[in-house]
A and B are shown apart, each in its own frame.
Chain A
Amino acid sequence: MGLYVLKRFLQMIPVLWIVATVTFFLMRLAPGGPFDKERRIPPEVEANLKKKYHFDEPILKQYFRYMSSALQGDLGPSYKYAEKDVTDFIRDGFPISAQLGLMALAFALVFGILPGVIASLRQNSIWDYGPMSMAMLGVSIPNFVLGPLLVLVFSMTLYWLPPARWDGPSYWILPTITLGSIYAAYIARLTRGGMLEVVRQDYIRTARAKGLPEWRILIRHTIWGGMLPVVSFLGPATAHILTGSVVVEKIFLVPGLGRYFIDAAINRDYTLVLGVVLFDSCVLILLNLVVDVLYGFLDPRVTYD
C-alpha cells in the first residue's frame, strides 16, 4: 500500500502543473487587468507599473518566471493588495476555513450518521420518515436561505447569537450549522441506504446465525459496511467544505479562504487566484487520497495494485 500512496503522490505533480498552467493562461483571457482603475494615471507611470510587475514581458516569459518562483514557494504579491503576499492570505485564511470546515464536517457526521442509522434500523416507521423528511428539507434549502433565516431568528429577534464575524465560540454556531446541514442531510440518506444494503448481506445473516447480539453485529460489521457510500461521498465533500463555502463565509463574514475564489477573479488579481487555486487543488487531491486509503481499511474486499 505504501507503493500505492507513493504513486498517488507522484501523480499529483503533473496534475498540479496542468492546473497552474491552465489557470495562468485562462485568467489572462478575461478582458481587463489588475491595473484598470477608475482614475487614469499618466501613461508613463502606468508603463512603469507594468514593468515592475513584468507585464511588459512576453507572456511565456512571465509564465516561466511565475512557475519558477512558485516552485520555490514564492507565490508572489497580491496585485490588488500590493502590500501583502499571497502566502499571507493563505496562511491567515486557511486555518479559519479549516476550522469552520471541520466543525461543519463534525456536525454533518453526527447529525447525519445517527439519524441515518436509526432510520435504517427502524425502517418505515416514524423514526425513518421523520429524519428522512428533515433530510429532504436540508437538501432542498440552499445555504444562502438557511443562513439568513437562522440569523433572523437567533440574532435579530432573540438576540441569542451574533449575526456575523468570527470572534469566539458563540460566533461559530450559526455558520457551522448553515454549512453543515446540507452535508448532514446527504450523509443521513447515504447512511440509511448503505446500512439497508449491508443488513441484507449474507455475512450479516451468518453473524446472526452464529448467535451474536444485535448491537455487536451492528457495531462490528454493519456500520462499517454502511459507511462505504458515506466515505466516498466525504472525499470531495470535505475538500469543498474545507476550502470554504464562499457563500457561508460571505454571509457570516468569516475571514477564511473561500471568498478569494470569486473576489480575486473579479479583481483580476492573477497571483491570488493562482495561489488559492493551487492550494485548493493540493488539498482536494490529498483528501481524495486519504479517502481512497480509508476505503481500503473499511472494506476488506478492496486491494491496491
Chain B
Amino acid sequence: MRKMHALCALASSLVLGAGCADNSEYFGKVSPPEGQVFRLNNGSEPEYLDPQKMTGQPDGRIAWAMFEGLTRYDPKTLVPMPGVAESWDLSPDGKVYTFHLRKGLRWSNGDPFTAQDFVYSWRRFLTPETAAQYAYLLFGIHNAEVYNSMQLLTTLRMEGWQPQALNLRRELDEDENFTGRWIASWSTQAPGATGITAGSLQVEKDGQAKGELKGWILGPGGPVEGTLSLEGRLALDAEAGKVSGELAVGGGPQAATAQLEGRRAVAEDIGIRAVDDLTFEVSLDYPIQYFLSLCAFYPLSPVPRQSIEKNGDKWTELENLVSNGAFVMVERKIQDRMVLIRNERYWNAKNVRLEKVILYPIELYTTGCDLYKAGELDVEPSNYIPQEFISSLSTKKDYRTASQLGVYFYRLNVTNPVLKDKRVRKALSMAVDRDRLVKFLKAGQPAAYQYTPPGIYGYDAPKLLKYDPEEGKRLLADAGYPEGKGFPTLDILYNTTEQHRQIAEIIQRDWKNNLGIDVRLNNQEWKVYLKSQRSLDYQVSRSAWIADYADPTTFLDMWLTGGGNNNTGWSSPVYDRLIGEAAREIDPVHRMQIFRDAETLLLDELPIIPIYSYTTFYLQKPYVRGYYPTSLDAHPLEAVWIDHDWQSHPQE
C-alpha cells in the first residue's frame, strides 16, 4: 500500500509537473482572498492541541498561534522579544531569572492571567504523568529532572559530618529495563573543606543497601583522604515514594551510623515560584545562555488551569479550549481544517492584522501544490514541496528559500567490529562527494563539512571534513583493508522515502568507487526503523536532526554518553567533560570556544557522518506580507497580513 502511495504521488507529480511548465512569473493564481484571511497548509493532522504534549511541527504552528509564552520570536530574526513578560532581570551568577508580567493580561475566556499560571503550567509540564516529550528542555531548573524522572530526594545524616543530599533513581539495564535496584551518586562542591566530597549508594529490591563515601576523614594525624563504606538495610516503598533507615559507616576512626531519609520529589520542589501575581521567578542549577529563546518555544506555553482541572484530557475540545495567544480556535474538523480567529483579549490584538487563519492538514505534497496553484492556499510551507518540482519552481517569484538549522547525517554503529576503528569511519566520511550530492538535491542545501549547521549566532563550527578519496583509501589500508579487500558488506538503513533511497544510492556508489567496498541498502518502515536505531540493530543509518532552539547544545548534547538520542554506542568522557564545562560557563565567547573544542573532537572521532545542512524552501503568494524565512522555520502568524494592494509594490 505504501507502494500505492508512491505510485500515486509519482503519477500525480508527473502530471502536475507537466502542468508546471507554464511561463508566468508566479506559480498559479495570485488573487488574494477577501479580507484578512490567511490559508496555510499545515502538513498533517495535529496529534495534540495541548502544547505541553506535542512535538510535531504541525502541532507547534497551532500552539504558537494560540498560546504565548514569557517571550516570543521576532518574526524576522527570531530574537526573543517580550511576550507575556514585558521585562526581566537576571542575577549576576546567571542562575535566577525574574520575569515581570504585563498588567491586565487575560485568557481568551476573560479569566485573569497571573504568574501562578506559569507556576501551574511548568509544574504540569514536568509532571511525569503528562509525559511531555520536551520536558528535558527545562531540566536546567533546580529539581526539574529529579521530579520528572520520579527520583527520591534523600538526606544522609551522620554525627559530625555535613548532611549529604542525594537523589535515588531507578537503575536501568542495557535493554533499558528497570533492574529493581535504586542507585545514587553525588558530589559536593566544597573544594578545600574537610568532609565528604563524593558518594554512591545502591539499594536492592529487598532494601539491602551498600555504598561508599569519599572525602577527608579525621584520622589520628589530622584529616586524610579516604573512603568510608556504608552498609545496612533500608525500608524502601517505591509506590509511596519513601525511603528510610540506618546505615553502618565503616572505615573511619570509630564506628558510626548514618540516618537516611527520603521522599519522592514533588512539584513544589521545582525551582519556580510566583513572587506575586505579576512576578515569576526561575532558579536554574547553572546559567543557560539560550534560556530566553527557550521561553518562546511552544512547549513552554502557559496552559489554562481552570479548563484542565474541570475537563481533564478533554480540555482541548473546542468548547473547553482556552488560550492566551493571538488567535483562538473556533472550528475543527478532523483531517479537514482548523479555523482560528483573532483573539480580541490578546494584549497585542490591535497589532494583529489577520482576522482569520485557516489551517488545512494536507499530507500529500503534490496535492498541497495543486491547491496553492489553484489559489486555495496562500503559503505552501517548507519542505512540503516534492523534490521533482524544485527546479521548475525555483524560477518563480513566489519561491523562497533560506538556510535552516537542521543537519542530515549518517549514524555509525561504533560497537560494530569494523566500525569500531576510527580510521574506517574517517575513510567513509572522506569518500563521500558531498558537493556532487547536494547538486543532485537541487534545493540549495549546503554540503556539511562540519556537524552543527551554520546560522547559530556567535557559533562558527569548525569545518574539518573534506572530500579526499586518496586519503580515505590510505586510511582504509592502514586499518587492514587495502583496496577494500576483506571489508564486509555494509548495510545502510533508512526509513522508506524516495529521497533517502536516492541519497543512499549515491553514497553507495561513492564508497564503491572510492574505497572498493560493497554496500547493501536496507529500508524499513518508520517505527521499525526507529526501533532498529535505538537498539543498535544497524551498521550505518540515515538520520537527521532539527534544532529545537538556536544554540549549539541542541546539536551537541545528543552525543553525550548514554544520551537518549545518541544511538551510536559512542562514548567519550572528554567530550562529556567539555559539554559539562560549557554548560557552566558564563562568558558567552569562551562558551562557544568550548563548543568548538567539543565539535572538533566529535569530527575527529566521527560516530556520525554529516552530509548536508537543511534549507527551507516554500511558496508564498506575493500578497502575503510579514511571513519571513527563518532558520528555525518559525513564522509568527501575528505578524502576517494580506496586502490587497501588492501589485503596486511587488517587491518585499
Interface residues of A, Cβ cutoff 8 Å to B = 30-33, 36-49, 52, 80-84, 88-89, 92-93, 144-145, 147-149, 151-152, 155-157, 159, 162-166, 246-247, 250-253, 255, 259, 262, 266-268
Given contacts A47-B178, A156-B16, contact A144 B135 (CB under 8 A): no
Measured between alpha carbons, how far is A17 from B170 in the docked complex, in Å?
41
Residue among A38, A52, A89 with max Cβ neighbours from chain B (10 Å): A38
Chain A residues with CB under 8 Å of B370's CB are 151, 155-156, 163-164
Say whether B5 contacts A41, CB under 8 Å.
Answer: no
Stretch at the interface among B47-55, B116-124, B483-491, B598-606: B47-55
Task: Say whether A163 contacts B149, CB under 8 Å.
Answer: no
Q: Which residue, of B4, B50, B314, B565, has the highest number of chain A Cβ atoms within 10 A?
A: B4
Contact bitstring B329-353, A, C-beta under 8 A = 1, else 0: 0000111100000000000000000
By the criterion CB–CB under 8 Å, are A40 and B565 in contact?
yes
Q: Are B48 and A152 in contact (CB under 8 A)?
A: no
In the complex the two chains form, is B526's CB within 8 Å of A156's CB? no
In the bound assembly, the distance between CA atoms of A41 and B128 in angstroms comes to 10
Q: Given contacts A36-B530, A82-B47, is CB(A165)–CB(B336) below 8 Å? A: yes
11 example contacts (A-B, Cβ-Cβ < 8 A) are as follows A36-B527, A43-B178, A44-B150, A45-B135, A82-B53, A84-B334, A89-B334, A144-B8, A156-B374, A251-B8, A255-B336
B12, A147: Cβ atoms closer than 8 Å: yes
CB closest chain-B residue, reference A39? B133
**Nearest Cβ in chain B — how far from A232, in angstroms?**
27
| A253-B362 contact, Cβ under 8 Å, with A44-B170, A145-B11 | yes
- Give me 7 other A-B pairs in contact (C-beta within 8 A), A48-B131, A162-B374 excluded: A46-B131, A48-B129, A49-B131, A81-B334, A89-B334, A165-B336, A250-B364
Residues of B close to A250: CB separation below 8 A: 5, 8, 363-364
Chain A residues, Cβ within 8 Å of B8: 144, 148, 247, 250-251
Q: Which 4 A-B pairs have the closest CB atoms?
A: A40-B564, A32-B527, A148-B12, A144-B8
In the bound complex, residues from chain A placing their C-beta under 8 Å from that of B149 are 42-45
Q: Quick one: closest A residue to B537, CB to CB?
A: A31
Contact B531 A32 (CB under 8 A): yes
- In Å, the complex CA distance between A81 and B336 comes to 15
Interface check B255, CB cutoff 8 A: no
* Residue in contact with A157 in the complex, picked from B19, B129, B134, CB distance below 8 Å: B19
Query: Does B90 reach chain A (CB closer than 8 Å)?
Result: no
Decide: A148 and B363 in contact? CB cutoff 8 A.
Answer: no
CA of A93 to CA of B317 in the docked complex: distance in angstroms? 17
Q: Are A148 and B364 in contact (CB under 8 A)?
A: no
Closest to A163 in B: B370
Tell me the smallest distance from the CB of B289 to a CB of chain A, in Å.
22
Given that A251-B367, A266-B525 are known contacts, is A32 also in contact with B530, CB under 8 Å in the complex?
yes
Q: Using Cβ atoms and an 8 Å threshold, which residues of chain A touch B530?
A: 32, 36-38
Contact of B29 among A157, A159, A246 (CB under 8 A): A159
Answer whether A259 and B335 are a contact pair too, CB < 8 Å, given A40-B564, A44-B128, A45-B135: yes
Asked, given contacts A80-B47, A83-B313, A250-B363, whether A268 binds B11 with beta carbons under 8 Å apart, the answer is no
Contact of A41 among B2, B131, B363, B373 (CB under 8 A): B131
Q: Which of B169, B333, B531 contacts A31 (CB 8 A)?
A: B531
Residues of A within 8 Å of B45, CB to CB, are: 81
CB distance from A263 to the nearest CB of B (A): 9
**Which residues of B lie under 8 Å from residue A83 when comparing CB positions?**
48-50, 313-314, 316-317
Complex: A81 Cα to B530 Cα, angstroms:
19
- B131 to chain A: which residues have CB within 8 Å? 41, 45-46, 48-49, 52
Given that A44-B149, A45-B149, A148-B15 are contacting pairs, would A166 and B135 also be in contact in the complex, using a CB cutoff of 8 Å?
no
Interface 0/1 of B87-127, CB less than 8 Å to A: 00000000000000000000000000000000000000000
Q: Is the CB of B1 within 8 A of A246?
A: yes
Chain B window 130-147, contacts with chain A (Cβ cutoff 8 Å), 1 for yes, 0 for no: 011111100000000100
- Taking CB atoms, residues of chain A closer than 8 Å to B16 are 148, 151-152, 156
**In the assembled complex, which residues on chain B have CB atoms less than 8 Å from the CB atom of A48?**
128-129, 131, 150
**A52 close to B527 (CB less than 8 A):** no
A165 pairs with B15, CB closer than 8 A: no
Q: B521-546: which residues lie under 8 A (CB-CB) from chain A?
A: 525-528, 530-531, 534
Q: Verify if B645 is at the interface (C-beta below 8 Å from A).
A: no
Whether the Cβ atoms of B133 and A251 lie closer than 8 Å is: no
Q: Which of B1, B336, B366 contacts A262 (CB 8 A)?
A: B1
Question: Are the CB atoms of B4 and A144 closer together than 8 Å?
Answer: yes
Asked whether B589 is an interface residue with its Cβ less than 8 Å from the other chain, the reply is no
Cβ of B228 under 8 Å from chain A:
no
Complex CA gap A152/B21 in Å reads 12
Q: Count chain A CB atoms within 10 A of each CB in B2, B11, B169 and give the residue with the most.
A: B11
Partner of A159, one of B7, B47, B172, B374: B374
- Nearest residue, chain A, Cβ from B361: A253
Complex-state Cα separation, A268 to B136, whole angstroms: 25
Minimum C-beta distance from B533 to chain A (A)? 9
The answer to whether A255 and B335 have CB atoms under 8 Å apart is yes
Cα(A42)–Cα(B527), bound, Å: 19
Per the bound structure, the CA–CA distance linking A39 and B132 in Å amounts to 11
**Are A81 and B565 neighbours in the complex by a CB distance under 8 Å?**
no
Closest to A85 in B: B314
Residues of B within 8 A of A52 (CB): 129, 131
A262 surroundings in chain B (CB, below 8 A) = 1-2, 5
B371 within 8 Å of A by Cβ? yes
Q: How distant is the Cα of A96 from the Cα of B201 in the complex, in angstroms? A: 61
Q: Which residues of A contact B367 (CB under 8 A)?
A: 163-164, 251-253
**Which A residues touch B55, using CB under 8 A?**
37-39
A39: B residues at CB distance < 8 A: 55, 133-134, 564-565
Complex Cα distance, B493 from A250, in Å, reads: 28
Kindly provide the distance from the CB of A240 to the nearest chain B CB, expressed in whole angstroms: 14
Asked if B587 is at the interface of the complex by the 8 Å CB criterion, the answer is: no
Q: Of the candidates A33, A84, A159, which one forms a contact with B527 in the assembled complex, judged by CB atoms under 8 Å apart? A: A33
Please, which residue of chain A has its CB at the minimum distance from the CB of B314?
Answer: A83
Nearest B residue to A159 by beta-carbon distance? B374
How many angstroms between the C-alpha atoms of A253 and B377 in the bound complex? Answer: 14
Q: How far is the CA of A49 from the CA of B128 in the complex (A)?
A: 9
Contacts of B136 in A (CB 8 A): 42
Complexed CA–CA distance, A204 and B5 (Å): 49
The answer to whether the Cβ of B18 comes within 8 Å of any Cβ in the partner chain is: yes
B376 contacts A by Cβ under 8 Å: yes
Residues of A within 8 Å of B364, CB to CB, are 250-251, 253
Interface members, chain B 210-260 (any A CB < 8 Å): none
Partner of B172, one of A30, A43, A49: A43
Q: Which of A37, A81, A148, A267 has the most CB of B within 10 A?
A: A148
Residue from B1, B4, B336 whose CB has the most chain A CB atoms within 10 Å:
B336
Complex CA gap A39/B564 in Å reads 7
Q: Which residues of B contact A157 (CB under 8 A)?
A: 19
Cα(A54)–Cα(B366), bound, Å: 40
B487 to chain A, nearest CB (A): 29
Minimal beta-carbon separation of A27 from chain B (angstroms): 12
Indicate whether B176 reaches chain A with its CB closer than 8 angstroms: yes
Interface status of B570 (Cβ within 8 A of chain A): no
Give chain A residues whose Cβ lies under 8 Å from the Cβ of B5: 247, 250, 262
Q: A81 touching B11 by the CB < 8 A rule?
A: no
Nearest residue (CB) in A for B532 is A31
Chain A's nearest CB lies how many Å from the CB of B185? 17
